[in-house]
């Protein structure tokens, strides 16, 4: 049985980790997997005898300074790096048959020291081994010089670039101009979404508003509270995300002016809740959009404003009719009410998105190992 080491570092939300866990779950049917995990956690636990996990001391992107922050103990990042290195060294075993590094080298450049040390340590224990990466379909646009460095790293290190996306919706070329230079290493797997609910629930007059797994997007929740008062026939369920503090949740609840709003910090079985909802309103993260598409739930999406990645994906999905994009002006209560009514009235696309990416990634990876 093959043994695979998987490295996943998130910086804002939980999208990268969510996709990684779904791939790992597919791999565990045929392999042993060790996961090195950094960033925010999910409430999902993989309980499997062939699965080991190391949760690294947390480093997240600080939007104010542009650097790193330790959200748990508020230590300086320079104090955290050595602790992470010691934890990795104590966790590794060998030999491994493959290494998967989520998103690198298309992102996580500020973790290149940690990733480079990891590659060296694994090769010392295991000898030469293939390195794979799984990347989302939309990248944050970079300068041509940075793209050239990414291409050089792919050619030096990466056996296969698994692109979790449907090329009929978005292609890597759309946001990575040098994709043609690594075309021989790119494999589109389809998007990675949870399986459809075994029992599809009845749609209700509920609008599900989700902030995602990070700590951005409070303005969307505030806007939904305002619109709820204008739509008394609908129940609004607001999921703030696991990073919301008790004080933040209390402040949101204090702002509610109608009896049709419920606020919760986190939703288990998110896809099941989507399938029972008339409409999804979200930040348009890749996993949330896929959950909505796989359950065929009409969607309004307001992209994270700090980078262009979510806006690009939302625009591509909007072109195919799977989502309706929100702008900042749409967050005024009256305008959001109208956008909700328009989205509910619009026909949903008859075609589907390829969403079996976890299984295909697992199969292609293991085939490359001769398993």
What is the CATH number for 78? Answer: 3.40.50
- 104 with 210, same domain: the answer is no
Task: Please give the mean pLDDT across all residues of the chain.
Answer: 91
- 146 with 264, same domain: the answer is no
Res. 354: pLDDT tops 80: yes
Domain range spanning residue 42? Answer: 2-192+355-368
Q: What pLDDT is stored for residue 215 in this prediction? A: 54
Q: What pLDDT is stored for residue 229 in this prediction? A: 97
Banded pLDDT at 238 (limits 50, 70, 90): very high
Res. 258: pLDDT tops 80: yes
- 14 with 155, same domain: the answer is yes
134 by DSSP, 3-state: which?
strand
Kindly state the DSSP code that residue 242 receives in the 8-state scheme: T
- 172 with 290, same domain: the answer is no
The encoded tokens of residue 163 equal 């692109």
- 250 with 277, same domain: the answer is yes
Of 214, 280, 210, which is closest to residue 244 (Cα–Cα)? 214
Residue with tokens 């026939």: 233
Residue 325 sits in a domain whose CATH number is: 3.40.50.2000
Residue 198 located in a structural domain: no
Distance of CA 38 to the CA centre of its chain: 14
Are the beta carbons of 347 and 316 closer than 8 angstroms? no
233 by DSSP, 3-state: which?
coil
Indicate the helix (H) or strand (E) that contains 39. Answer: none
Residue with tokens 């075309």: 183
Q: What pLDDT is stored for residue 371 in this prediction? A: 74
Once rounded to an integer, what is the mean pLDDT over residues 235-251?
89
DSSP string, 281-331: EE---HHHHHHHHHTT--EEE---TTSSHHHHHHHHHHHTTS-EE--GGGG
Residue 72 located in a structural domain: yes
Are the beta carbons of 238 and 267 closer than 8 angstroms? no
- 55 with 175, same domain: the answer is yes
- 242 with 333, same domain: the answer is yes
- 331 with 273, same domain: the answer is yes
* Residue of 261 and 242 predicted with greater confidence: 261
Res. 297: pLDDT tops 70: yes
Task: Give the separation between CA 78 and CA 73, rounded to whole angstroms.
Answer: 13
On the 0-12 / 13-18 / 19+ scale of CB atoms within 10 A, 185 is middle
pLDDT tens-digit series, residues 84-116: 999 999 999 989 999 999 999 999 988 999 999
Q: How far apart are the first and last CA of the chain?
A: 8
Once rounded to an integer, what is the mean pLDDT over residues 255-273?
90
Cβ-based neighbours of 262, under 8 Å, separated by 6 or more = 235, 236, 237, 238
pLDDT tens-digit series, residues 218-232: 899 999 999 999 999
Res. 214: pLDDT tops 70: no
Banded pLDDT at 265 (limits 50, 70, 90): confident
* Count of all residues that appear for the chain in the document: 371
Task: Give the separation between CA 57 and CA 78, rounded to whole angstroms.
Answer: 12
Task: Give the separation between CA 273 and CA 285, rounded to whole angstroms.
Answer: 17
Once rounded to an integer, what is the mean pLDDT over residues 265-285?
89
Task: Give the separation between CA 198 and CA 279, rounded to whole angstroms.
Answer: 20
DSSP string, 46-104: ---TTEEEEEPPP-EE-TTTSSEE-TTT---HHHHHHHHHHHHHHH--S--SEEEESST
167 by DSSP, 3-state: which?
coil
Q: What pLDDT is stored for residue 59 in this prediction? A: 86
Which of 190-199, 212-221, 245-254, 305-314 has the least mean pLDDT? 212-221
Indicate the helix (H) or strand (E) that contains 117. Answer: helix 112-126
- 13 with 122, same domain: the answer is yes
pLDDT tens-digit series, residues 116-146: 999 999 999 999 999 999 999 999 889 999 9
Which of 3-7, 89-93, 165-169 has the least mean pLDDT? 165-169
- 180 with 50, same domain: the answer is yes
Are the beta carbons of 209 and 292 closer than 8 angstroms? no
Residue 332 located in a structural domain: yes
Residue 329 located in a structural domain: yes
- 243 with 162, same domain: the answer is no
- 54 with 185, same domain: the answer is yes
Total domains present in the chain: 2
Residue 199 located in a structural domain: no
Residue 200 located in a structural domain: no
pTM value? 0.83
Q: What pLDDT is stored for residue 307 in this prediction? A: 65
Residue 350 located in a structural domain: no
Which of 8-12, 28-32, 192-196, 231-235 has the least mean pLDDT? 192-196
- From the CB of residue 174, how many other CB atoms can be counted at a distance below 10 Å? 19
pLDDT tens-digit series, residues 21-78: 999 999 999 999 999 999 888 877 899 999 999 999 988 877 667 778 787 767 888 8
């Amino acid at each position: 049985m093959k043994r695979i080491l998987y490295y996943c570092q998130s910086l804002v939300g939980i999208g990268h980790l969510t996709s990684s866990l779904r791939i790992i779950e597919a791999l565990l049917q045929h392999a042993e997997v060790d996961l090195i995990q950094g960033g925010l956690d999910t409430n999902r636990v993989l309980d499997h005898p062939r699965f080991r996990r190391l949760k690294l001391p947390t480093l997240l992107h600080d939007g104010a300074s542009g650097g790193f922050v330790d959200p748990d103990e508020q230590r300086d990042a320079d104090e955290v790096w050595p602790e992470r290195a010691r934890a990795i060294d104590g966790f590794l075993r060998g030999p491994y048959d493959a290494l998967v590094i989520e998103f690198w080298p298309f992102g996580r450049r500020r973790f290149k020291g940690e990733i480079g040390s990891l590659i060296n340590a694994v090769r010392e224990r295991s000898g030469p081994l293939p390195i794979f990466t799984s990347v989302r379909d939309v990248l944050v646009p970079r300068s041509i010089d940075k793209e050239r460095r990414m291409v050089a790293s792919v050619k030096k290190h990466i056996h296969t670039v698994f692109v979790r996306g449907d090329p009929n919706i978005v292609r890597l070329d759309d946001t990575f101009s040098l994709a043609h230079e690594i075309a021989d290493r790119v494999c589109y797997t389809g998007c990675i979404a949870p399986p459809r609910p075994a029992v599809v629930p009845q749609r209700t007059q509920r609008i599900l508003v989700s902030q995602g797994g990070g700590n951005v997007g409070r303005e969307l929740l505030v806007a939904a509270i305002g619109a709820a008062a204008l739509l008394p026939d609908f129940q609004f369920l607001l999921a703030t995300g696991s990073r919301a503090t008790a004080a933040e949740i209390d402040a949101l609840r204090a702002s509610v002016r109608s009896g049709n709003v419920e606020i919760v910090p986190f939703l288990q079985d998110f896809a099941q809740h989507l399938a029972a909802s008339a409409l999804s309103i979200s930040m348009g993260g890749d996993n949330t959009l896929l959950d909505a598409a796989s359950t065929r739930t009409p969607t309004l999406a307001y992209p994270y404003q700090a980078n262009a990645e979510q806006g690009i994906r939302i625009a591509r999905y909007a072109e195919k009719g799977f989502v309706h994009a929100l702008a900042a002006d749409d967050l005024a209560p009256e305008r959001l009410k109208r956008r909700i009514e328009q989205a509910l009235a619009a026909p949903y696309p008859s075609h589907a998105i390829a969403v079996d990416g976890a299984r295909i990634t697992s199969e292609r990876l293991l085939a490359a190992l001769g398993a």
